[in-house]
Structure 1
Amino acid sequence: MKKSRRRFRATAALAVAGALSVALSGCTRYDTTTPSAARKSPAAAEDGKGGDARFGTADCRKVKCVALTFDAGPSENSPRLLDILKEKKVPATFFLLGKNHIADHPELVKRMAREGHELASHTWDHKILTDIDDAQIRTEFRRTDDAVEKLTGKRPTLMRPPQGRTDDHVSALAKEEGLAQILWDVTTKDYTTTDSALIRKRAVEQTKRDSIILLHDIYRGTVPAVPGIIDALKQKGYVFVTVPQLLAPGKAEPGKIYKP
């Protein structure tokens, strides 16, 4: 593995840990919208259908839905993950990172789109959006969106801020770019462990209806945990959907922040 990637992973792990501390401290204030509220919003589509994933859709007003999301890929682990998702007939939402990821794995980005997954942005350089100026924020958004659109023909409408750190000003700039922000309520802290059984246990224990599960396919222990997460949650009656399907018949509105 390249030294640059090892450095990025170590930095990312520390960054995510720091983000959780910030979120728990309550220092940053912003409004969020739950999936259930989105489904009742004026933006709700008349036909009740959400997204266009090949695996089909579910009416999350009537069934227990959950969204699997993966940050900071693609990586060398992504092909195995895509094989698992295809075998299990489970769609996911990928918040893709530009530098060293989209740029290095364009064929994986195309495969994700081709197999019915939702592609979204995790920015280009994983910079903390609340710490940089407006021009840099716009660059973080646009470089990633341009790259995904060039590869797939579809421009992302969803974005996840690095470390989950955002504020109203970031939301305003995201709105200009046509992006809604998606946070999460389930974290396995897979950046701290290679124990796949522990990652699976954390995911299953925290998940509830409408949960958005945060995972990272860049870490060695994560992908082996995915089959067990899927099987256990299916046994509990959950249906897996993409984030847009979770919000349907509502639609993610640019500038808004969604969190269960």
Structure 2
Amino acid sequence: MPFLSSKTRKKRAPFRDIGIFSAIACLAVTLSGCASLDTTAPSSERARPASTAQAARFGSVDCRAAKCIALTFDAGPSENSARLLDILKEKRVPATFFVLGKRHMEKYPRLVRRMAAEGHEVGSHTWDHKILTGLGRAQIREELDRTDKEIARLTGHRPTLMRPPQGRTNDTVHAVCRELGLSEVLWSVTAKDYKTDDPAVITRRVLAQSSRDGIILLHDLYPGTVPAVPGIIDALKERGYAFVTVPQLLAPGKAEPGKVYRP
């Protein structure tokens, strides 16, 4: 997907204006009490009995003792993702990518393979960014299963995590996710990087909201986001944070299909 200037943003297609860009507002509605959503905190999952903690290529981190935080990126891969992967490799920081199928995995299959090969977690953000709560059960399954199969084809591993577009979910979505072996992952930190191309603004917003067990939502398809990542990583490391994938954040517990996770 090409870089989008402030001028072109005014002419974006409905998918971009209503889909990704409304995510924070919609989650805010859920948090405000207008809708009921039963979520599980990472710390609660870690407290569940488990036989072994999950290992990482970046080194094992025990988030029961360490001050952990998770970087997550939605709606890629894009032309910016290769540079992002270079940064993460240089900084030795794992991330979780919630990828889209249409126009993204289709266009950049090698980047999806690279994400997995370099130790990052690859999850689903659906095939075409349809709002799942407005679909029937069969349509929800199609959006998720098609994406899962393509991720499995590219990486050799079927995903266990998904992030619903706009953060919108309901009992039907939970049920389909449970059948497909997927857990839903929301977020606690947003830079609203769909509203600014300024890396300094993005960095400041992330740092202001970050706390232990935080899940940071960013999008690697916007021009200001990837340049902000080195500063975000360095500043949070200085504050004593350890970067982990979402599965590592839950370890030694393990994400349970059909559950929704949010700090």
| TM-score scaled by length of structure 2 | 0.92
Aligned to 2:40: 33
| Alignment partner of 1:236 is 2:255 | no
Aligned to 1:188: 191
Q: Which of 86, 89, 94 is matched with 1:91 structurally?
A: 94
Runs of 4+ in 1 over 4 A off after TM superposition: none
Distance 1:29 1:167, change over 3 A: same
* 8 A contact 2:69–2:215 mirrored in 1: yes
- Alpha-carbon deviation of 1:101? 0.5
Aligned to 1:256: 259
- Alpha-carbon deviation of 1:12? 3.6
Q: Which of 207, 211, 227 is matched with 1:208 structurally?
A: 211
Q: Which AA in structure 1 matches 2:141?
A: R
Distance 1:147 1:232, change over 3 A: same
Separation (CA, whole Å) in 2 of partners of 1:11 and 1:221: 20
- Alpha-carbon deviation of 1:24? 4.2
| Alignment partner of 1:119 is 2:126 | no
Separation (CA, whole Å) in 2 of partners of 1:219 and 1:57: 31
1:74-223 matches, within 5 Å, as: 74-223=77-226
Q: Which of 22, 27, 38 is matched with 2:29 structurally?
A: 22
1:95 counterpart SS class = strand
* 8 A contact 2:189–2:210 mirrored in 1: yes
Separation (CA, whole Å) in 2 of partners of 1:27 and 1:129: 18
* 8 A contact 1:78–1:108 mirrored in 2: yes
Aligned to 1:59: 62
Separation (CA, whole Å) in 1 of partners of 2:57 and 2:89: 10
Separation (CA, whole Å) in 1 of partners of 2:188 and 2:142: 28
Structure 2 stretches of 5 or more lacking a match? none
- Alpha-carbon deviation of 1:195? 1.0
Percent identity of equivalent pairs = 64
* 8 A contact 1:64–1:210 mirrored in 2: yes
- Alpha-carbon deviation of 1:173? 1.2
Q: Which AA in structure 1 matches 2:57?
A: R
> 1:51-77: per-residue Cα shift (whole Å, max 9, x none)?
x43112200001100000000000000
Q: Which AA in structure 1 matches 2:91?
A: K
2:114 counterpart SS class = helix
Q: Which AA in structure 1 matches 2:82?
A: P
- Alpha-carbon deviation of 1:168? 2.1
Single out whichever of 13-22 and 112-121 deviates more from structure 2. 13-22
Aligned length: 256
* 8 A contact 1:65–1:239 mirrored in 2: yes
* 8 A contact 1:53–1:118 mirrored in 2: no
**What's the Cα RMSD here?**
1.9
Separation (CA, whole Å) in 1 of partners of 2:33 and 2:232: 30
2:76 counterpart SS class = coil
- Alpha-carbon deviation of 1:172? 1.2
1:72 counterpart SS class = strand
- Alpha-carbon deviation of 1:19? 1.9
| TM-score scaled by length of structure 1 | 0.94
> 1:187-237: per-residue Cα shift (whole Å, max 9, x none)?
111111111101001111111010000000011110000000000000000
